[in-house]
Chain A
Amino acid sequence: MRIASRALAALLLAGTAYLPAQAQPAAEPTAADLVAKNLAARGGSAALAALKSVSLDGKLVFPGGFELTYNEVRSGGAVRVDAALQGLALVQAYDGKGGGWRINPFEGRKDAEPMSDDEARSFADAAPIAGVLLSASSDGSSISYLGREDFDGTNCYKLKVAQKDGDEFVYLIDPDSMLEVKITETRKLRGAVQVSESELGDYEAVGGVMFPMSIESGPQGSSQRQRVIIAKASANPDAPATLFSQPK
């Protein structure tokens, strides 16, 4: 409770420190300004640093209401997601050391299989607890401010993160909360460009850090979306390295 209050306080502080753009049209912010505001809105660097692991439990819902149970654990640059149907869990994980693996049990096999390098690289971007945007300054990615963009009636700030491997993330930042509300992810898989979009909402504090409890995503251009709805989030749960290592 105390931690949650701290995050909200940081959020309110961000809101007062940064007036909406309509109030100061002449002063366009820099990318660094916006990242700092976003960091404050997320809960601040101290809260992020104190968060060593996070667990998110809920459901993964495809259009039509097709649901799987969902558990995501991030820790130490690694991530594991279990999505279960009829008690069979599809597992996808990045071990934090360059390797990704999965178990797809739906058709009769429960052996762990290594991901392709591109897939592992893609899944690795789900690992940082802070997320890609707030990790960008430390991993060598470049961040640029692209101006404002209307997002369904909200005049958002637009930031682009260009990673060293060529993948790009374009963020739309809600000007009131300074939290990210949309991510457009452009990456190459097997040499082919794939673009996906995610819309984020229902933010709540987890260990003092704001996380979206609702994420809907899908290929760009499609009107259909899958949704991750988090019902319960835990700060600093036990997350041993074996959780992320490919089973032998």
Chain B
Amino acid sequence: MIRTALLAATALTFAMPAIAADTAATPASAGISGLGIRNIGSAAMSGRIAALAARVEDDGKVTIFVGAASGGVWKSDDGGTSFTPKFDKQPVQSIGAVALDPTNKQTVWVGTGEAWTRNSVSVGNGIYKSTDGGDNWTLMGLPNVERITKIVVHPTNGNIVYACAPGALWSDSPDRGLYKTSDGGKTWTQILKGPNLSTGCSGISLDPSNPDRLIAGLWDFRRKGWTFRSGGEGPDAPSGSAMAISEDGGKTWKMLDATTSKGLPKGPWGRIEVVHAPSMPNRVYAVIEHAKTALYVSEDGGKSWEARDSSRNMVWRPFYFQKLVVDPTNADRVFKMNLRVIVSDNAGKSFSDTAGGSHADWHDVWVNPKNPKHLIGADDGGMWISYDGGSKWWHSRNLPISQFYHVAIDDKDPYQVYGGLQDNSSWVGDSEYPGGITNHRWENLYGGDGFWVLPDPASPDHVYAEYQGGNIAWINRKTLEQKAIQPKAGYKEKLRFNWNTPMALSPHDKSVLYLGSQYLHRTRDHGNTWERISPDLSTNNPAKQQQEKSGGITVDNSSAEMHTTIYSISESPKAAGTIWVGTDDGNVQVTTNGGGAWTNVTKALKLGADNWVSWVEASQHDANTAYVAVDRHVFGDMAPHIFVTRDGGKSFARIAGPTTAGIRGYAHVIKEDRVDRNILYAGTEFGMFISRNGGANWEEFRPGNFPAVAVRDIAQSKKGDDLVLATHGRGIWVIDDVSPLRELTPTVVASNVTLVASAPVEQRIQGNGGWSEGDANFVGDNPADGAVITYYQKARHVIGRMKMEIIGPDGQLVEELPTSKRKGLNRVVWSMRTKPPLVPPAASLAGNSVVGQRVLPGQYKVRLTKAGEVTEVPLTLAIDPRASFTADDRKAQYASAERVKALFQRMTGLTFGLVALARDANTAANDAKATPAAKKAAQELALKAADLRKQVVATTEGGAITGEERLRENMDMAYGQIISTEGRPPAYAVARVDALEKELKEVEDAFAALKATKAAALNSELTRAGITPISLAAVQVDMVPTGGQMTALGRGLVGARYFGDFRSLAFPRKKR
């Protein structure tokens, strides 16, 4: 009692001025981010969600906020049908808590830094507030608490908020504990803290009947790279964990323990979760981790307690699952998160499984207070919705928050993408697919937690994949047969495989695969046999090999803490047998003779103790050059540390450190551009960073749609120069064609505007894929469907015209394109199509003729005009190498399409002439001076013209599906057949055009005859009557070709104020 009062009395008050989140965030890069980036998902497996908040709105809709473990905040306004990311502009993506202000629907609080503290957990940077429903955020302070597990807003005073901060995971910190603000977040007071620098806050609950009565849990917890403890170092070791109650809004506290409260167990304790029953304020539930972890229930507001359930899912892994949720309508119904979510209907006396067909590893549940059968859940597989109280669950497949560790690509065209994910197995997906990359385009390959997945270059039907602890398998992609090929230990030996065991292929020998334990293993026969090609390359420090004691009060040895292991492997593409190895305990070792001898070059890094080598990368350009990334976040250092050696490891130079501008966050991966050795790509916990001068300067790559998410691995395609990023929280992203980075010389960067020449552009085969997915499924973006034209401009273009033109091989203008205006690199896409045919207007669209055929391959030019400055670059178009047709076939198809266009042109002129003739004849018939004979002749002429028009175009209105086929409609179908392929049209297609041309000629002849006979005769009558004769000259057509490629329309892509209206254009052909 005295001790806690003192704690409160000495509580620190932080006068933390509100920091504008927008200014705190690193601005998006001005130059390079214009390359753009696309997310290919997937949401099939989704990823871990740490926290949920939801509310039933007045109109019955449910608003949901999802706090992803490492993928930001997502909001749904429609009960989960669709989600929008709301936190992408902020500098961190790890979320620990989300709270909605019960007094103001526009106010949302987010605590960053997940508190389900597994080995791979990310970090946060404080508490954020939105006052506009999540659109804009302000960092309100607590910048040093690193993680926040719960935020509670006072039920009647929104200015009073409590933030429960377990605090820094990897280091001592005084900035942990329970915080309170009474002024809406302007200032925060630490109102409760633990007795040591490793004890923070694990739970906070306000008495619903008296919000000044609080019960809080304190948790003593610490992680190291090789162990962790919840509570003390063991079940009986001293711990700072505690539970405390305050009756005065946190001013003073009374400890709740075995000596003060009947029924509570003796310490030491570990993690404590505590929560009041909303509908019965005196009932309090608490899970208290101790030697016999159990659920404790108080019926008197915390004065006395009774131990209840202690089943496996109550006690297991409290560092990862501990949350309790009480049904707001039923005090006896309580959910406990664990590997499975369990529920009690008898106030915690017993529990049963209610996880249904969900994933596993539950972290949160929301119970609809208006309909408690409606639940929303969060686990390692994403978000789940139940409408039957938890018996069955829908999986939300619209949250691409997947947590990849690694990525690889194959050499297919288009390439496929491989990667393993946190608790979500190993997958392969498409980099592009007609209709978009849906969740269905991803295929699960293995199981467990996934890490490295490598397509076997020596056996294209196979991949290597693994689950945690180096459990590698050789998997047949056709049959999915798995062959476990993990090398095994010898007599009285233990092989130490990291949680994220490294694999690497040899760039010199397709049959060779390397695998790291503490030794480097090599197989040449898909794992049938292995040879060890190194001694123990780690420090082999026995103090870091005590994983059987890991966990603290609750032992937990899952291989996640396995240490003194090899963590990264890279063989030089320039020197067979030169292999670099990095270990999780700080060693960098290299062999130049395939493992015959090893040199420990760690000292050359000139680093102190406590390092984790997260990446070694042999240069693609020089045998003596290699890069090393060191991750020190498990020692509390969140800065990047990246080095390069250019002398085979004799010395290293630092190219990124704590004070390096333009890069931030602990480094996961460093890679060289495959062509330009000066271009480096670094992935850190806070995003993607690029250097264009060998590491001298760094620039954040942060397009507007790309958050500051952890980039764990990078692959670069040889064809197309795509950069494929594995993010740990937002899935796989692709930067299509990074080659323009190589053109950003100082001269270019200083220029007002410069066009960047591209490699020859393939006219890719265009298929038709996908189907209506509904609005509740994620669909990944395809690469641009056309020729991508890149240019650089020094400043945003605001005033005056900017024009981009495509000039054909004959020097004629082919197309004028809209330009992009941003500062830095810009991209514009040209469809490479001709203008559509000019078809005569009719009752409805000629669906096939809204698009032109592709231009012929050849040498084109791009011309950019800005403020009078004109620049040009060549643009080469080539046939897709996968095409089955020849260049001559293409020419034949092009010519056939042009022939039909010419016929359409004639048909349009004919139609305009007929319409004009009928109109003028009707005008004459209605002229007061017209004689009866002239009137009759004019009426007959108008009818004849109208009849002829009806032979040319469909005229029946009333709906699109009239089935009325006239010359125009038949020609449209003939045209559709010709442009359905880029190859040579079949002879019968050409013959069909011949027939239609003959039919067109007959109508043209009839029109000419009509003008020569009846129209001429009418004009004679009109002249005699003193009326101006009608014109028989050719009518000028005042239309321009319209239409184009409509793939985007097919996806319902429409902008402001046109929503919906153009969608009907998308599938006119399919409707027929």
Contact = CB atoms under 8 A, between A and B. Distances in A.
A107 B818 contact: no
Given A66-B1043, A152-B30, A61 B818 contact: yes
A86 B849 contact: yes
A153 B824 contact: yes
Contact of A108 (B800, B819, B843): B843
B516 to A, nearest CB: 38
Nearest to A220: B84
A213 B800 CA distance: 8
A71 interface: no
Interface in B673-708: 704-705
Given A64-B786, A68-B1042, A149-B22, A174 B1061 contact: no
A93 to B, nearest CB: 12
| Among A106, A210, A229, residue most surrounded by chain B Cβ atoms (within 10 Å) | A106
A150 B29 CA distance: 9
Given A88-B841, A107-B844, A217 B1055 contact: yes
B1048 A66 contact: yes
B774 to A, nearest CB: 15
Contacts of A151: 796
Contact of B1053 (A176, A177, A222): A222
A126 interface: yes
Interface string B928-961: 0000000000000000000000000000111111
A153 B799 contact: no
Q: Tell me which of A11, A185, A218 has the highest count of chain B C-beta atoms within 10 A of its own C-beta.
A: A218
A202 B29 contact: no
A50 interface: no
Contacts of B135: 170, 186
A164 interface: no
Given A88-B845, A153-B823, A196-B1055, A147 B1047 contact: no
Given A87-B840, A108-B957, A152-B823, A203 B1047 contact: no
A148 interface: yes
B85 interface: yes
Interface in B778-813: 781, 785-786, 795-802
A242 to B, nearest CB: 22
Contacts of B957: 108-110
A153 B28 contact: yes
Given A64-B1045, A85-B850, A108-B843, A181 B821 contact: yes
A198 interface: yes
A202 B1064 contact: no
Contacts of A204: 799-801
Contacts of A66: 850-851, 1043-1046, 1048-1049, 1065
Given A63-B829, A87-B840, A153-B29, A203 B1044 contact: no
B846 interface: yes
Contacts of B1064: 104, 106-107
Given A147-B20, A152-B28, A226-B1058, A65 B1040 contact: no
B330 interface: no
Contacts of A108: 843-844, 956-962
Contact of A65 (B20, B799, B1045): B1045
A150 B1064 CA distance: 37
Given A66-B1048, A152-B30, A152-B823, A226 B960 contact: no
A27 interface: no
Interface in A65-93: 65-69, 84-88, 90, 92
A193 interface: yes
B831 A64 contact: yes
Given A66-B1045, A85-B850, A192-B77, A218 B845 contact: no
Interface string A150-178: 11111100100000000000100010110
B38 interface: yes
A179 interface: yes
Contacts of B414: none
Instruction: Name the residue among A126, A153, A189 with the largest chain B CB count within 10 angstroms.
Output: A153
B839 interface: yes
Contacts of B1033: none
A62 B84 contact: no
Contact of B1042 (A84, A149, A176, A192): A84
B1061 A90 contact: yes
Contacts of A214: 802, 818-819, 821
Contact of A148 (B23, B817, B1053): B23
B1061 A92 contact: yes
A112 interface: no
B798 A86 contact: no
Q: Which of A66, A107, A195 has the most CB of B within 10 A?
A: A66
Chain B, interface residues (CB within 8 Å), range: 35 or more
B1057 A122 contact: yes
A96 B627 CA distance: 65
Contacts of B797: 201-202
A5 interface: no
B789 to A, nearest CB: 13
B796 A64 contact: no
Nearest to B817: A65
Interface in B843-884: 843-846, 849-851
A218 B705 CA distance: 14
A221 interface: yes
A20 interface: no
Contact of B38 (A105, A154, A223): A223
A155 B851 CA distance: 40
A123 interface: yes
B822 A224 contact: no
Contact of A224 (B33, B960, B1053): B1053
B1037 to A, nearest CB: 10
A153 B845 CA distance: 43
A189 B1059 contact: yes
A148 B44 CA distance: 37
B1056 interface: yes
B926 to A, nearest CB: 22
Interface string B1024-1048: 0000000000000001101111111
B36 interface: yes
A87 B841 contact: yes
A202 B801 CA distance: 5
B1057 A126 contact: yes
A65 B815 contact: yes
B717 interface: no
B1054 interface: yes
B141 interface: no
Contacts of B844: 88, 105-108
B370 interface: no
Nearest to A94: B1057
Interface string A116-149: 0000001101100000000000000000001111
B154 interface: no
B1053 A63 contact: yes
Nearest to B1065: A106
Nearest to B781: A223
Given A185-B1056, A196-B1055, A216-B818, A179 B798 contact: yes
A177 B800 CA distance: 12
Given A152-B28, A196-B1055, A218-B1054, A62 B800 contact: no
Contacts of B1042: 67-69, 84-86
A26 to B, nearest CB: 14
A196 B84 contact: no
B77 A193 contact: yes
13 contacts: A61-B818, A64-B1045, A65-B833, A86-B849, A92-B1057, A108-B959, A108-B962, A109-B959, A125-B1057, A199-B821, A201-B802, A224-B1048, A224-B1051
Which 10 residue pairs spanning A and B have beta carbons closest together? A153-B30, A87-B841, A64-B1045, A217-B1055, A107-B960, A66-B1044, A153-B823, A150-B27, A63-B1048, A65-B831
Given A106-B960, A123-B1057, 7 more contacts: A61-B818, A65-B833, A92-B1057, A149-B22, A152-B796, A185-B1056, A193-B77
